[in-house]
Structure 1
Amino acid sequence: MASEPSQDEVFLRVRRQLQEQQMEELVRAMTDKCFEKCVKKPGKSLSTSEQQCIAKSMDRYMEVMALVFNTVARKAQS
């Protein structure tokens, strides 16, 4: 018979699930925004310029999200 999970275990499990949901939302938002920006005429495949645009857009999006996260974290600590 399995024992009940401790409060800490439950907290960690919920925290992990929230982090996974946040990551999924980030990827979904990034994908939607970059695709909308870079792909003007969707087709069966992406052109080289569309692929490059999406890659650059996703890089910038991640940089901005990291900057925002770090700024919020710094303000929370002060």
Structure 2
Amino acid sequence: MCEILEIPRSSHYQSLQIVVSNREQENQELTKEIHLIYLESKGRYGAPKIHESLLTKGFSLSLKRVQCLMSKARRWFWIC
């Protein structure tokens, strides 16, 4: 298959070992927590109040990061 696609074999094997970074794992956790807070507020809370709730729960992050994560996970927030 690699010969037909004209790519090195190492590229194929390297793609099998993709590891999720610590930052991405943290973002996934935060996104789940953001979604829970959003559902608890019945969709009324925006990024500022969700940010405040996360700080109260002991998370350390900026408002901008909450906004970015909410933007990336927009599909979740419309399903509710």
Give the structure-1-normalised TM-score: 0.34
Give the structure-2-normalised TM-score: 0.34
Question: Hey, which of these two has a bigger chunk of helix by percent?
Answer: 1
